[in-house]
Amino acid sequence: DAMVIQNPRYQVTQFGKPVTLSCSQTLNHNVMYWYQQKSSQAPKLLFHYYDKDFNNEADTPDNFQSRRPNTSFCFLDIRSPGLGDAAMYLCATSRDLVGQLDGYTFGSGTRLTVV
Amino acid sequence: AQSVAQPEDQVNVAEGNPLTVKCTYSVSGNPYLFWYVQYPNRGLQFLLKYITGDNLVKGSYGFEAEFNKSQTSFHLKKPSALVSDSALYFCAVMLGRGSTLGRLYFGRGTQLTVWP
């Protein structure tokens, strides 16, 4: 029944060691988003895919990359995690860019800890 | 630049009392406005939205919100709070056109605590 699934729920990685977070969706939505949410802060958009078109936010560090091999899956790669990258990472989808009917559908998030 | 402000970090109310969680926005053009709720260690859940039309919108779990264009506000309300409403609430704005089409910009969130 789950529609946007993020794996794993909790991820611990070492400082500087590449890590990949996964998101999958069963909604067949065109758009997939990645947000970073640090403690007591607003979720911050990192980038999104509209179909195969990748759109990076201007202030997203180069350390963060993303891949979308097909409609269902989207990955967040952190090439060299720093302590400041510890956060909850949220994946979301919408049917189209405006997503008027229901806003976004969010996954449960992956909490990343960097040690 | 677009922004969303939630002036209160915390709102505390007694069960059964009405609650209000405030949100103001600053955007160019007509915004789409949303409220989301987040429970601990979970993703965000959609509550309600304003796109156009009636300024009072009703959403999930008995919540409603009033769009006020002159005050650029979109306050979340509920006539009678429940302990189970305790959670983190986010206001968000989405622009319907331009280079930021489709992007949701969130406020910092308001922690609502309803005590028995």
Q: Distances in Å between the alpha carbon of A41 and those of B6, B91, B100, B111? A: 11, 12, 21, 12
pLDDT for the residue numbered A96? 77
Residue B52 has pLDDT above 70, yes or no: yes
Which of A34, A100, A102, A105 is the best substitution to test chain B (most B C-beta atoms within 10 A)? A100
Q: Which domain holds residue B40?
A: 3-115
Contact A59, A2 (CB under 8 A): no
A4-106 homologous superfamily: Immunoglobulins (2.60.40.10)
Please give the pLDDT value at position A80. 96
- Residue B50 class from Cβ within 10 Å (0-12 exposed, 13-18 middle, 19+ buried)? buried
**Average pLDDT score over residue span B60-66:** 94
The residue-averaged pLDDT of B25-52 equals 87
Cβ-defined contact of A31 to B51 (cutoff 8 Å): no
Structural contact between residues A76 and A33, judged by C-beta atoms closer than 8 angstroms? no
pLDDT number for residue B74: 97
Instruction: List CB contacts (< 8 A) between B41 and chain A.
Output: 9, 108-109, 111
Q: What percentage of residues in chain B have a pLDDT greater than 90?
A: 69
Region B40-68: what's the mean pLDDT? 90
Q: What is the pLDDT of residue B100?
A: 63
Question: Which carries the bigger pLDDT value, residue B72 or residue B94?
Answer: B72
pLDDT reading at A104 higher than 90 = no
The answer to whether A48 contacts B41, with C-beta atoms less than 8 Å apart, is: no
Please say if the pLDDT value at position B6 is more than 90.
Answer: yes
pLDDT attached to residue B102 = 72
Burial of B45 per CB tally in 10 Å (0-12, 13-18, 19+): middle
Question: Which of the four pLDDT bands, split at 50, 70 and 90, describes residue B98?
Answer: low
Phi, psi values for residue B4, rounded to 5°:
-130, 135
> Is omega for the bond preceding A8 within 30 degrees of 0, making it cis?
yes
In one-letter notation, the amino acid at residue B102 is G
Supply the CATH number for residue B54's domain: 2.60.40.10
Quick check: B90 and B105 in contact, CB under 8 A? no
> A33, A6 in Cβ contact below 8 A?
no
Both structure tokens of B25: 């926005």
Q: What is the pLDDT of residues A60-91, one digit of tens each?
A: 999 999 999 999 999 999 999 999 999 999 99
Q: What is the mean pLDDT of chain B?
A: 90
Which of A8-17, B11-20, B41-50 has the lowest average pLDDT?
B41-50
What does the CA dihedral B101, A28, B42, B85 come to, rounded to 10 degrees?
80
Distance from chain centroid for Cα A27:
16
A88/B66 Cα distance (integer angstroms): 30
| Residue pairs spanning A and B at CB distance below 8 A | 70
Question: Which residue from B43, B96, B108 is facing A106, i.e. has the nearest CB?
Answer: B43
Q: What angle do CA B20, B32, A54 make, to 5 degrees?
A: 125
pLDDT of residue B62: 94
How confident is residue B28, by pLDDT bands cut at 50, 70 and 90?
Answer: confident
**How many domains are contained in chain B?**
1
pLDDT of A1 reads 61
Average pLDDT, stretch B87-112? 84
Q: What is the per-residue pLDDT across A21-54, written as a single tens digit (0 to 9) for each?
A: 999 999 999 999 999 999 878 899 999 999 999 9
